[in-house]
Amino acid sequence: MKDTQVKSGSAEYVAEAIELAIHEHRLIPGMKLGEDELSEVYGVSRTIIRAALQSLSHNRLIELKRNRGAFVAQPSVAEAIEVFEARSLLEPRTARSAAERMTEQDILSLQNHIDAEHTAIDNGESGRALYLSGLFHIEIARIADQKTIAAFITQLISRSSLIIALYWERRAALCESHAHHALIEAFRNQDGDQAEELMKSHLIDLLTSLDLRSRKSAPSSLHEALKS
């Protein structure tokens, strides 16, 4: 998940645009990413598209299948459980560290994430709301000032986005969850114990919101997904 400005028409630009579409659940796991259609959407050569897809493959967001092409990655049930178990090991301690280092500017940054998330919910953009929710967690890792752990958390949240797109059934939980608000209060009070416990509960709630018995089918129109 990135928030940088890169040159339009470059492979990096295309890769970031596709990555954002994946994290916002406009492109869902299993969807085929045809080179010709991507080339038309972004107005670039197939050489640039191939470079972008290769980059996304390295980040495990897409799968390159021999003689079949590129597809948005489809995490298995086992990986879904492993990813959230890993997050539950790392993020509560990171939340504690963040609480101990929290400044007023950090609180404002986190609140801005929540406000943007609520705007997306109000606009019916559940995929974007989930993307912004992921950025909220990444920002906490940044504030904790643990660069190595933050890099792991960023990768795990990226995988979580794919997992949620496949298995999430409780979409109403977006409107019901007050976990991020509660975390901000703990951060404002610099209460590391409370921040750690709240993060544990929040991640358990996310895992229980998944229906690990089923997979969603991919939409048919790549062009429509990327232009939305």
pLDDT 10s digits, 173-205: 554 457 899 999 999 999 999 999 999 999 988
Average pLDDT estimate for 96-123: 93
pLDDT at 214: 61
**pLDDT-based confidence at 48, cuts 50/70/90?**
very high
Q: Which two three-digit tokens encode residue 219?
A: 């939409």
- Across-strand partners of 32? 71
pLDDT number for residue 219: 55
Tokens 């299993």 label which residue? 30
Q: Which pLDDT value is given to residue 26?
A: 86
CATH class of 77-208: mainly alpha
**For the sheet containing 62-65, what is the strand order?**
32-33, 69-72, 62-65
What percent of the chain is modeled with pLDDT above 70?
A: 87
The domain limits of the chain are 11-74+218-227, 77-208
Give the mean pLDDT of 55-72. 90
User: What pTM was estimated for this model as a whole?
Assistant: 0.78
Residues 74-109 pLDDT 10s: 999 999 999 999 999 999 999 999 999 999 999 999
Q: Which segments of the chain are extended strands (E)?
A: 32-33, 62-65, 69-72
Residue 92: other Cβ atoms inside 10 A? 18
Supply the pLDDT for residue 3. Answer: 46
The CATH label, of 3.40.50.300, 1.10.3720.10, 1.10.10.10, 1.20.120.1200, for the domain at 11-74+218-227 is 1.10.10.10
**Model pLDDT, residue 172:** 47
**Predicted pLDDT at 4:** 45
pLDDT single digits (tens) 146-177 = 889 999 999 999 898 888 888 876 554 554 45
Counting Cβ atoms within 10 Å, is residue 36 exposed (0-12), middle (13-18) or buried (19+)? exposed
- What is the model's pLDDT at position 115? 92
